[in-house]
Structure 1
Amino acid sequence: MEQYVVRTLSTELQTGTLNIESLDLSHNRIDDRGTKSLSLGLQEMSNLEQLDLSYNNITDRGAGYLGQAKMWMQNVTYLDLSHNEIGNKGAKSLNEGMGTISKLEHFNLGHNKIGDDGLVSLSEGFRRMLPCVLTYLDLSHNSINESGKESLMIAMHSMNHLDLSHNQISNFGVERFNIEGVNWEELRHLDLSNNNIDDLGAASLTYGIEKMVKLQHLNLSNNSIADYGAECLSVGMERIGELTHVNLSHNQIGPTGAGHLGEGIKRMYKCKLTDLDLSNNEISDTGAVVFSESFTAGWYCLSRLNLSNNGIGDSEQKLSKAVSRMNELTKLDLSHNNIVTRELKVSVKS
């Protein structure tokens, strides 16, 4: 979208004659100048509930213009600023306008350039949103590391979807999930994939997971979690009765860790787990045997299991026998292993 078109739209909006509740300007070429023009029109849009400016060229300066146009924020429930170039200064500018927001439920700032300082600013804004009804927050693909997370955790009360994937969060940052007084009871989706979390981080996270009693989706793929981390996570997982999807792919989990995970899942109260991804680990034949020995009644609900690329070969007979007891299984991925097909006998429910 050319900038003069944005100016024309802004002029029309400034007349106050339009009663627009949802405005989608995503996938355009709106830059800071266009955002400045648009912000003038937004000031007259007190009825606006949804604004999508994703996939544009908005930087810190453009975010500043949006933060200054506070009138439009009053009734906004959905705000998408993902896939832009907003950094710490832009996050601070948005924070300055958040005092007028009280209805925001869905906020997407993924794929920007926000770091720890920006996260602190946003968290301050969230805490001024009274009452805070934010349920969906996407901060994936940014540069968040450690220091800002504590402020964010304290600001979370009604959150049910939190995406912090593809950042630089390490063990110290994960510890922030254990802050006393933080209410995680509503969280249903947690994505910490593609960070720098290893065994110690997984152990720290376990204490936080135990408080997430309604958690359904847990994604810790593409980290550096090995056997000890898997053992700790299994303890936390067995206490979550609502867990349905777990992704621990692309880690360093070996035979011992696989065994602990299997036992932990078996002990899950009223197990609802339907999807388990352990692909691209180091489970091997030894781990596959130990893992398969836990396939008892506790696994009756699992419908998708991914064990691809784990160096599994000679254990396929025991594995196939164990899988045959999983009555709800509809998808089994054992690709990129060393399995001899003449020995493998697997019955998967159609």
Structure 2
Amino acid sequence: MLSLENNPIDDSAADVIKSAFIINSSIENLNLSHCAMTQTGLLTILSALEYVSCLQYINLQSNNFTKEVAEKMLNVIQMNNKLKKIDLSHCDVPQSYLIAYINLTLSDPSHIQGIDFSYNDCNIVSEDYGSLENYYLANNIPLTYLNLSHCKLSDVKTNGILCSLWCSSVRSLTYLSLSTCTIISERSLMYAISNNRNLEYLDLSDCKLQQKDIIVIAECLRTTRVIQYLLLSCNIIDDISAKKLAETLSSYLSLKQLSLSNCKLQENGMLQIIGALQCTTSLQHLDLSHNVVSDGAAIYIAIALSCNTSLECLNEQLCFV
């Protein structure tokens, strides 16, 4: 494993790294995230990775991709058929190349387990590469990790991804993040969650979810009961959907994080959710910020959570207590 995360790599250092790769081609895990590399440096390192046949994990997060760099990355993906996880989040990858990466990683899906293309703009359907969801539908994908948050996906494309996650044979997801993606079909959402019963991390923050969507999520999560991280911030949760969510959460004894910030929760709904969390002794992070809370509700929250010794962070900032 080679990790140089958060260390600036200039062009001369990139030459040294390339030489090391050529000498030692057995590197399996490479983390060069936040390294502020120039185009020349990235091209140098990516050309060296063509010699690394055992590469399983590559993280180039927050390095800016030009068209030339994106083209070289295509070659790396093509030549490394043992890749299990790719992280190109925050890389400003050109749209057509991002879809091309998805094409390559999913066209021979026997080894790909994790894809993180978050904070890139992939809201296109390319005639050359096809649409994202078609690759899920066409292949048997052993994905366990899928992060497409903040990808500017349209509501139609988001729905296509959700459909693919229940129409295809994807059943192994443990991590799913579609934060800021607009969800228009609760039916697609229902099947996508219920068909992946090993989900431990679910982030649907700021997805414009409303009452019927939250109720669907609550019902689906009753069948899994392995969720440890549930992020639903910046959606609308009224008293009715809060009650359904509370009923589900009451049986979640392994929940570690619950984020319900800015959900327009009213006092009755919040009290029901807090009441359900009294038995959840594993909770470490609870975010209720930007919801209206009265003095009486605040006292109830403090008492209800007092028995939870694992709680590390309780965020009620700007709740107008």
TM-score category (smaller protein):
0.7 to 0.9
Instruction: Write the deviation string for residues 17-64 of structure 1: whole angstroms up to 9, x where unpaired.
Output: xxxx63748632436x976886576445422323333322344x7666
- Partners of 1:23 and 1:276 in 2: how far apart? 31
Q: 2:116 aligns with which of 138, 153, 165?
A: 138
Deviation digits for residues 298-348 of structure 1, max 9, x if unmatched? x44452433232112166289449826976673544443344xxxxxxxxx
**Aligned pair in 2 of structure 1 residues 338, 65: CA closer, same or farther (>3 Å)?**
closer
Structure 1: 4+ residue segments shifted above 6 A:
none
User: Counterpart of 1:240?
Assistant: 224
- Rounded to whole Å, the distance in 1 between the matches of 2:95 and 2:190 is 23
Return the offset for 1:138: 2.1
CA deviation after TM superposition for structure 1 residue 86, in Å: 1.2
* Counterparts of residues 47-196 of structure 1 (less than 5 Å): 47-54=26-33, 55-59=35-39, 68-69=47-48, 71-86=50-65, 90-127=69-106, 131-132=110-111, 134-145=112-123, 147=125, 148-150=131-133, 153=136, 157-175=141-159, 176-179=161-164, 182-193=168-179, 195-196=180-181
CA contact (8 A) 1:285 1:314 kept: no
The alpha-carbon deviation at position 177 of structure 1 amounts to 2.7
Which secondary structure state, in structure 1, belongs to the residue aligned with residue 290 of structure 2? coil
Contact 1:140 1:165 in 2 (8 A): yes
The 3 A distance-change label for structure 1 pair 38 and 172 is: same
> In the alignment, which of 304, 308, 315 is matched to residue 323 of structure 1?
304
The separation in 2 between residues aligned to 1:320 and 1:131, in whole angstroms, is 47
Give the aligned partner of residue 294 of structure 2. Answer: 313
Percent identity, please: 19
The corresponding residue for 2:182 is 197
Residues 139, 201 of structure 1: alpha-carbon distance in 2 compared, 3 angstrom cutoff: farther
Q: TM-score, normalised by structure 1?
A: 0.72
CA distance in 1, matches of 2:15, 2:310: 54
Alignment of 1:285-296 (within 5 A): 285-291=267-273, 295=276
CA separation of 1:128 and 1:64: change in aligned 2, threshold 3 A: farther
Over the residues paired in the alignment, what is the CA RMSD in angstroms? 3.7
For the residues of structure 2 that align with 1:26 and 1:296, how far apart are their CA atoms? 38
Q: If you compute each CA radius of gyration, which structure gives the higher value, 1 or 2?
A: 1
Q: May I ask how many residue pairs the two structures share in their alignment?
A: 310
Q: Call closer, same or farther: CA 1:173–1:89 in 2, change over 3 Å.
A: farther
Gaps of 5+ in 2: 126-130
Q: Is the CA contact (8 Å cut-off) linking 1:69 and 1:97 kept in structure 2? A: no
